[in-house]
Amino acid sequence: MFNHLNPQTGKTMNLQEYYTRFDADEKLIADIMSEALSQGGDYCDLFFQHSVGNHIGLEDNAVNRAHSHVDFGVGIRVLKGEQTGYSFTDEVTPQSMKLAAKTAAKIADSDKTVSPVQVKLHRVPNYYPIEIPWETVPVPQKIPYLQKINDAVFAEDPRVVKCSISFGEGAAHILIATSEGRMVCDCKPMMQISVSCTAEQNGRREQNYFNLSARKGFECLTPETVERLSKEPVRRTMELFDAVKPEAGEMEVVLAAGRSGILLHEAIGHGMEADFNRKNISIFSDRMNSAVAEKFVTIVDDGTNPNLRGTINTDDEGNDTERTYLVENGILRNYLHDRISSQHYKVKPTGNGRRQSFRFAPMPRMRNTYMLPGPHKKEEIIRSVKKGLYAETFTNGEVFIGAGDFTFYVKSGYLIEDGKLTQPVKDVNIIGNGPEVLRNIVMVGDDLEMAESGGTCGKNGQSVPVSLGLPTVKVSKITVGGMNS
């Protein structure tokens, strides 16, 4: 019997427990894969998934919504060259799986068939150990934590008139088997909580929020976490009463450490995904091993950061995760690959083949994308700006992958005047081009932070959890939309 470390509990778990969960065994898996390859496919894989979770909403001092969800099924993929046949079923029975395998097999049409290799469990590292699995804690025990946050938000400032809290948690149990003989088991925990605050002053209302998300268990709801979740949204909201609209125009912009990494993810990271480059959609398609930034700029996509929202023990094709250097010392070195693109480029997979669920085929997706620390101090960077914008958090971004053009709305930030942060700003957007911004990075701080909230990335109708990060970064020029824009 193969043993496997369960990330939900940290305890040893054997393969039979996964087989029992999906009512499967080695013989059934071999039979399904043989059916999938019966029309001449080169390769196939099976992706079993059992997800469970809960969502609780609290508003106006009371729980106003709560629901649980379960997702259960298997996806079957067949590859013939660079073509994909895919089918899934939420009835995990031998009959339903064989029917799905026959459907996926139709992508191929050849008398030459290959036989699947006998599967063997491949052990993966555990990058998200937890102490208390969410599924072991009843929902009524979680609600008091939300009530504490709610009460603390109202106690923080008498101008608060509304608090809304959205909380979700759960875990996804997966089993992946490939026709090349690899089998991988994993259990992916997740929590996310968002706190929105609305305040009123002299008849005027403002709203802002703060959220956290991570692959952690119930133990993460500490008193310190509750305090941050109550103080930070109030602070951000109250600043908006004093916020001003900056003048529009091209100016120096300092991207704050942490959440500003969303610009890196959206405006640059997507262009590094290999499928966009294989199809010559990305502006980086012909830039491999070329200089795309200054020598002090290094950008990675990393699946190994402990407990982050975008961290994975294995990708959804069963490949090992890793830290992938996209830009190293200013030079474009790698794209993000799944199996198809890695074979096209004749390189090894980078562990970026991800999918939303068993209903979807995998494709290259980011994990935790961030810029490594540079040689400059945050204070030094801000002092170097005579007149500019300090952008702290973003929302409502739009990116065009082909050209790299983007627009982002700055939710929180400050004016920089004579080397100092002065007034908070609001109703600001920044407009630019990802590759140009990369070239125009002139200072990189030594203060890398990962965004505690992470994010949910959408691509081709699929959403996956990701995280992002950045040190303080100075861009020599970006167009800022404000007054008179």
- Supply the pLDDT for residue 413: 95
Check pLDDT > 90 for residue 7.
Answer: no
- Supply the pLDDT for residue 397: 78
Q: Are residues 208 and 260 in the same domain?
A: no
Considering the entire predicted model, what is its pTM?
Answer: 0.94
Tokens 């390189």 identify what position? 347
- Supply the pLDDT for residue 150: 97
What does the pLDDT average to over 144-173?
97
pLDDT per position as a tens digit, 16-27: 889 999 999 999
- Supply the pLDDT for residue 428: 92
Q: Are residues 157 and 279 in the same domain?
A: no
Q: Are residues 295 and 433 in the same domain?
A: yes
Is the Cβ–Cβ distance between 264 and 370 less than 8 Å? yes
Q: Are residues 121 and 215 in the same domain?
A: yes
pLDDT per position as a tens digit, 324-363: 999 999 999 999 999 999 999 999 999 999 999 999 999 9
Mark which of 241, 272, 295 sits at the end of a domain.
241
Structural domain span for residue 59: 3-241
Question: Which pLDDT band, with edges at 50, 70 and 90, does 484 fall under?
Answer: low
Q: Are residues 190 and 299 in the same domain?
A: no
pLDDT per position as a tens digit, 408-443: 999 899 999 999 999 999 889 999 999 999 999 999
60 vs 323 pLDDT, higher one: 323
pLDDT per position as a tens digit, 201-224: 999 999 999 999 999 999 999 999
Mark which of 241, 260, 290 sits at the end of a domain.
241
Residues 6+ apart with CB under 8 A from 284: 271, 272, 277, 292, 332, 335, 435
Q: Are residues 188 and 254 in the same domain?
A: no
Q: Are residues 317 and 206 in the same domain?
A: no
Q: Are residues 237 and 256 in the same domain?
A: no
Mark which of 241, 275, 295 sits at the end of a domain.
241
Check pLDDT > 60 for residue 483.
Answer: no
Q: Are residues 185 and 308 in the same domain?
A: no
- Supply the pLDDT for residue 3: 41
Average pLDDT, whole number, for the chain? Answer: 94
Q: Are residues 385 and 328 in the same domain?
A: yes
Number of domains forming the structure of the chain: 2
CATH at residue 174: 3.30.2290.10
4 vs 241 pLDDT, higher one: 241
Q: Are residues 195 and 310 in the same domain?
A: no
pLDDT per position as a tens digit, 277-313: 999 999 999 999 999 999 999 999 999 999 999 999 9
Percentage, residues of the chain above pLDDT 70: 96
Q: Are residues 220 and 266 in the same domain?
A: no
What does the pLDDT average to over 178-199?
97
